Amino acid sequence: MDDPRIADAWARLPDYLGNHVLVCVISLALGLAISLPLALVCRRRPALRAMALGITSVVQTIPGLALLALFYPLLLAAAALAERTLGFSFSALGLLPSVLALTLYSMLPVLRNTIAGLDAIDPAIREAAVGVGMTPRQSLLMVEWPLALPIIMAGIRTAAVWVIGAATLSTPIGQTSLGNYIFAGLQTQNWIFVLFGCAAAALLAIATDQLLGLIEIGVARRRRGYKIVGTAGLAAVAALTLLAVSPGQGLSYVIGAKPFAEQYILAALVQQRLAADGLSATSRDGLGSAVIFDALAQGDIDIYVEYTGTLWANQMQRTDVLPRAQVLAEVTRWASETYGVKVLGTLGFENAYTLAMTRELATELGVKTDSDLAIYAPRLSIAGDYEFFGRPEWRALRETYGLTFRSERQMQSEFMYSAAAAREVDVIAGYTSDGRMAQYGLIALADNRHAIPPYDAIVIVSPKRANDAAFLKAVHPLLGAINIDLMRQANLKISVDKSATPESVARWLWEQIERR
Amino acid sequence: MHTHASFGGIFSHVAATPMTMSSAISVAHVCVNHRSDQPALDDVTLEVRRGEFLAIVGPSGSGKTTLLRLINRLADPTSGDVLVGGSNVRDQDPAALRRHIGYVFQGVGLFPHLTVAENISITPRLLGWDAARRISRAKELITLVRLDESNMDRFPDQLSGGERQRIGIARALAAEPSIVLMDEPFSALDPATRDALSQDYRALHERLEVTTVMVTHDMLEALLLADRIAVLRAGRLVAHDTPAALVRAQDDAFVQSLMQVPRRQAERFSAFMRGQPNG
């Protein structure tokens, strides 16, 4: 029980839980504010009603992660438009896209139950309301609404549970939530974090559901006590958790990180360097590759570690492969000219995608290069991370070497190496800086025809921090300080040492840097 | 024409001057076009005098309920006029009109989420009576319909069918209306409850000096309770007379056929009581 990761998890709870509750409360409030009047408007208009229920049902079938991710580019475009036309801009990252997506997500159960609840009222009761002299408005407020309320409350409960669960998926678009435990935990093999995040989200959902249940009973049986206890309970949960949300984040620097172990370590390292110079910083963990560069260009985050080849292939859409130094130079110029993003310099190692297999299999087949692999590929299976098979690098590899595999599987990068070692897959698209290549006895196959560009790790800074001398000075000691062996050791520590956290590994990494 | 002759004088007088001082409700040449949701009415003219207990009878689909609903504007005529208290209902706000006319529903229609006391005082509440006046009126009414005051805080689903309809009647009377409309108020009750409740209502009708219009498909009930009976057939008013006159009527085969059921039941019953079954 004295595992440092447990203490670490507890220490993060106020921030993660508070932000989680914040996004849920706003989303649910907005969802109710839209769904309830919409249900009343739709009720007597069959066409509108079919349309509203249809649209919200379709929204419901979109996977939560995709729905949340979709709002980011949408808002980014909206922010750019606002900037051009109205002269102001807003952050397309974090709270706003999360709230919009979760609001949509919450609408179906509330809308459907409100309409169903009002429909379920005995026509004789409705006629009695008219007959005793009620106006349509009085009938709605005094009779129909109270009678439908238990069913409406059931819809609200469903919406609340859905939103609390789905809010864990707002981490990749930059909203801190209980999902931060889960995404970081999965990437750094910190199962305590994963369990902690799941348990916290589940407990929050159960508590909210039960408290809403009390209100529902209070409404249905007209017990004021239940209503008071339920409402007070919800208010207490919201107040206690929201108090923990630290305000004034605008004053500190924001460090971005993509969702894998190396990025978590390097983000922690940057944060520690800033702290050492008395600069406070927060982190936005687990941002997707597609989101993170735009977020930096937009100024939602201030700094992160990128890889030259990723910008080269994804952002610049380049398919040619040039030497390392030339790619770095072109990337630096392109980022500065196109977005005003400053490339500070390289860290000193490369993290490229590489095809890899076990040493035994490579020996058995006599495969040393990707050209050799092409001969056997139709009999072999390949696994890559979620991004890999959609990336230009994979297309380049396939076209250059004529690779066609028997099967392609996507997996969490953490499981790829052990899957290859266990021969569940034959070939993986691994990362050159990953310590687990050696740990699991995998060897990288040479990209002998240079299909894949170089992937030098570079520190890049948002336009608004490009001339922030104190900030740049604090990060400067890291440039050129981490070679591939050091990064591999650091990455390996996370996956092997059960009690290692990105912070502890980052501290270890800094000690090694200072020792030189 | 024998029976009609004795009331013919009154009839022609009323038809000529619909707004006599003694008339609570007058329906003049009302037509309701045939629609899918309600039976039609064809040129119905009818007068209900103040303090009168009128029963509207006829087979299902004959337009009884439509005629009743014209009075508090739950339905509107296609042509013709309905006057309540001398003024045309067309010129009155429907909700305001209904607050001054009691209505007892066929399905009782108590609000399940409100207590007995709240159900009774719903119309006074709509009229803006203060709480103290509403409570004392609800207590008065619950006693009037012969229920115990302990029922005041119970909910409708905790009451028997007969108790519920007593509350329905109390609700209709709560705002001191001069007119009470009743749509088959006793039809869902068991015979004993039905008999007791209908007798109790008739007594209330006398005591509160209200005008009552009741729709029923039960001719015997109409004969025993009402001062006058209006007989509808396929949207037309075929007879409008006192129970005694209608029982004696010989000229209209349809009215006679309606009278025959209670008459034959009465004859069989008295024969049974004399010990001559199937006589």
Name the minimum distance, in Å, from the CA of B110 to any CA of chain A. Answer: 7
Alpha-carbon span B256 to A106, nearest angstrom? 65
- For the four alpha carbons of A30, A31, A34 and A40, in that order, the dihedral sign comes to negative
Alpha-carbon span A348 to A487, nearest angstrom? 9
pLDDT over threshold 50, residue B2: no
- What does pTM read for this prediction? 0.72
Average of per-residue pLDDT across B103-118 = 88
Asked if the domains A4-243 and A353-444 are classified in one and the same CATH topology, the answer is no
- CA B225 from chain centre, in angstroms, equals 10
Burial of A85 (0-12, 13-18, 19+ CB in 10 A): exposed
CB < 8 Å to B171, chain A: 132
Q: Which structure tokens are listed for A500?
A: 């290692």
Collect all residues with Cβ–Cβ distance below 8 Å to A29 and sequence separation of at least 6.
Answer: none
Question: Are A420 and A427 in contact, with CB atoms under 8 Å apart?
Answer: yes
Q: Where are the domains of chain A?
A: 4-243, 251-346+459-515, 353-444
Give which of B196, B27, B173 is closest to B101, Cα–Cα: B173
Give which of A347, A275, A278 is closest to A308, Cα–Cα: A347
CB pair distance less than 8 Å for A146 and B113: yes
- Choosing among B122, B167, B181, which should be mutated to test the A contact, i.e. which has the most A CBs within 10 A? B122
Among residues of chain B, what percentage have pLDDT more than 90? Answer: 30
CB < 8 Å to B113, chain A: 143, 146-147, 222
Burial of A491 (0-12, 13-18, 19+ CB in 10 A): buried
- Choosing among A127, A132, A138, which should be mutated to test the B contact, i.e. which has the most B CBs within 10 A? A132
Q: Which residues in A have their CB inside 8 Å of a CB on B?
A: 122, 124-125, 127-135, 138, 142-143, 146-147, 222
Question: Are A442 and A361 in contact, with CB atoms under 8 Å apart?
Answer: no
Res B37: pLDDT: 64
Alpha-carbon span A474 to B192, nearest angstrom? 95
Q: Which residues in B have their CB inside 8 Å of a CB on A?
A: 72, 74, 95-100, 103, 105-113, 122-123, 126-127, 171
CB < 8 Å to A135, chain B: 95
Please give the CATH topology (third level) of the domain spanning A251-346+459-515: D-Maltodextrin-Binding Protein; domain 2 (3.40.190)
Nearest to B99 among A128, A129, A133 (CB): A133
Class at the top of the CATH hierarchy for domain A353-444: alpha beta
Collect all residues with Cβ–Cβ distance below 8 Å to B95 and sequence separation of at least 6.
Answer: A133, A134, A135, A138, B126
Name the minimum distance, in Å, from the CA of A222 to any CA of chain B. Answer: 8
Question: Are A98 and A167 in contact, with CB atoms under 8 Å apart?
Answer: yes
Name the minimum distance, in Å, from the CA of A121 to any CA of chain B. Answer: 11
Helices (H), A299-443: 308-310, 324-339, 359-365, 370-376, 392-401, 413-421, 436-439
Q: What is the mean pLDDT of chain B?
A: 84
Q: What are the pLDDT digits (tens) for B16-59? A: 344 445 788 999 898 888 665 667 888 899 999 999 999 999 88
Res B278: pLDDT: 54
Give which of B78, B122, B76, B133 is closest to B99, Cα–Cα: B122
Res A8: pLDDT: 81
Give which of A124, A127, A105 is closest to A57, Cα–Cα: A105
**Measuring CA to CA, how many Å separate B134 from each of A214, A359, B120, B149, B174?**
32, 91, 9, 14, 9
Alpha-carbon span A327 to B83, nearest angstrom? 93
Residue A432: half-sphere exposure toward Cβ, Cα within 13 Å: 18
Averaged in consecutive runs of 10 residues, what is the pLDDT profile of chain A (516 residues)?
76 87 93 92 86 86 81 79 75 82 90 90 90 90 90 93 92 85 81 91 94 87 84 89 65 85 92 89 80 86 92 86 90 92 92 91 91 91 87 87 91 84 91 86 89 91 90 92 90 82 92 87
Q: Where are the domains of chain B?
A: 1-93+211-268
Alpha-carbon span B232 to B239, nearest angstrom? 7
Cα–Cα–Cα angle for A320, A323, A329, nearest 5°? 90
Nearest to B105 among A124, A133, A147 (CB): A124
CB pair distance less than 8 Å for B112 and A134: no
Residue type, A87: G
Could you tell me which chain B residue has the CA closest to the CA of A123?
B109
Domain B1-93+211-268: assigned CATH number? 3.40.50.300
Q: pLDDT band for position B8 (50/70/90)? A: very low
Nearest to A125 among B109, B127, B171 (CB): B109
CB < 8 Å to B126, chain A: 132-134, 138
Alpha-carbon span B194 to A126, nearest angstrom? 25
CB pair distance less than 8 Å for A143 and B111: yes
Collect all residues with Cβ–Cβ distance below 8 Å to B29 and sequence separation of at least 6.
Answer: B43, B44, B45, B79, B80, B81
- How would you list the strands of the sheet with A253-256, edge to edge? A281-284, A253-256, A303-307, A456-461, A342-350
Could you tell me which chain A residue has the CA closest to the CA of B101?
A132
Nearest to B111 among A125, A133, A222 (CB): A125
CB < 8 Å to B106, chain A: 124
Res A2: pLDDT: 62
Give which of B112, B72, B165 is closest to A130, Cα–Cα: B72
For B81, the enclosing helix (H) or strand (E) is: strand B79-84
Give the ipTM. Answer: 0.82
Domain A4-243: assigned CATH number? 1.10.3720.10
Res A14: pLDDT: 85
